[in-house]
Amino acid sequence: MDRIAIVGGARLNGSIPISGAKNSAIKLMAASLLTDEPLRLTNMPRLADTRFLGHLLTRLGAIIEERDTETGPETILHTPEIVSSFAPYDLVRQMRASFNVLGPLIARTGHAKVSLPGGCTIGARPVDLHLQALEALGAKIDLHEGYVYATAPRGLRGAEIEFPFVSVGATEHAMLAAVLAKGVTVLKNCACEPEIVDLAECLTKMGAQIEGEGTTTITITGVERLHGATHAVITDRIEAGTYAVAAAMAGGEVRLTNTRADLIEALLVKIEEAGAEVERTNDGVVIRRNGARLKAVDVDTGVYPGFATDLQAQFMALMTLADGESVIREHIFENRFMHAPELARLGADIAVSGGEARVRGVEQLEGAPVMATDLRASVSLVIAGLAARGETIVSRVYHLDRGFERLEEKLGACGANVRRIKGEAVPEIGE
């Protein structure tokens, strides 16, 4: 399998264009099952995760065409007929979000058999809320041998659903099912992430009637059918935040384009507190650091607009060289400090206790072989390697390929000494 080698010490200077959001693109792709007309998605990222979902959608009946245009990559998904409502384990296990085909399949065909998901090893993320929402909408759910058997022969019906806690995935899944349900659905205690808004905007273009997206209460009036549409995938705030941290870590000046500063404001405030300069622009953000040592900053992850859990590992890498001790508290997922032992291999001083990590900044990191454990952890090791003395080699980077498009190219264009070492093909299995 491939590895990435980084020789640290180079300052970053240049521009990095941010791709479309992985976490939005995969839900938009699932939405294409809701209509027999083509859905054209522009600003599409080209990632392992979108490829995995494409394989599953093709099996279900989708015809998928990828294009590279003058304005960027786009994907056209057309499912004139659902030829199968069976999503097998060998495909769903490759990416957790594949489970979100369940709602659209029930909404359009009245039945589905979908494997329970796999996904990142960052703690338990049960799908109970997803299934409870579908049951509230009238679906009959049975679980057998790792599969969800769902039926709604008379169609789904509107309902009032209050989530016991905020869940991005459950909010999106309920939306995907409710748009074709009879009557009105009211979702309460919803997630407010920008990707929720992006999904709602795309579904609205397809003919759905949705109000309240971006707030804790979303109201959906079901329609009989949806039609085709064209929609631009929202910019990837996690990719933008990752490169912002990389620039602060390595020093120099990096302009992030095709993005929005407001989407990562919680992170930008912390980067400023740490001593780097942040300039918010019309099309993105500029990060500058002149080489002065960073300052320790505490972080608590939270639901949007709080500090994103998907940026926690990257910020921990940044704090390994800060002056003083920072405390990082993870409130979203348990078991999401698996990158800490790998950062310690580079010389970081990190003590983990439950959902809290104490990072005592060191003067210098030293390059070493390290291993990625999940998607965001993998890129935190790359970030640390940018500032480490000597060479850092990150293995198992198929994790990284799930969510970061052309990482070596984007960092290399700004002066980073980073290269991919090709190896044996990794089997397409879940994390």
Binding residue ranges: 22-23, 96, 125-129, 310, 332
HEC letters along the chain: CCEEEEECCCCEEEEEECCECHHHHHHHHHHHHHCCCCEEEECCCCCHHHHHHHHHHHHHCCEEEEEEECCEEEEEEECCCCCCCEECHHHHCCCHHHHHHHHHHHHHHCEEEEECCCCCCCCCCCCHHHHHHHHHCCCEEEEECCEEEEECCCCCECCEEECCCCCHHHHHHHHHHHCCCECEEEEECCCCCHHHHHHHHHHHHCCCEEECCCCCEEEEECCCCCCCEEEECCECHHHHHHHHHHHHHHCEEEEEECCCHHHHHHHHHHHHHCCCEEEEECCEEEEEECCCCCECCCEEECCCCCECHHHHHHHHHHHCCCECEEEEECCCCCCCCCHHHHHHHCCCEEEEECCEEEEECCCCCECCEEECCCHHHHHHHHHHHHHCECEEEEECCHHHHCCCCCHHHHHHCCCCEEEEECCCCCCCCCC
Does the annotation mark 190 as catalytic?
Answer: no
Please state the residue numbers annotated as binding site for UDP-N-acetyl-alpha-D-glucosamine.
Answer: 96, 125-129, 310, 332
Q: Which of 120, 192, 202, 414 is catalytic?
A: 120
Where in the sequence numbering do the catalytic residues fall? Answer: 120
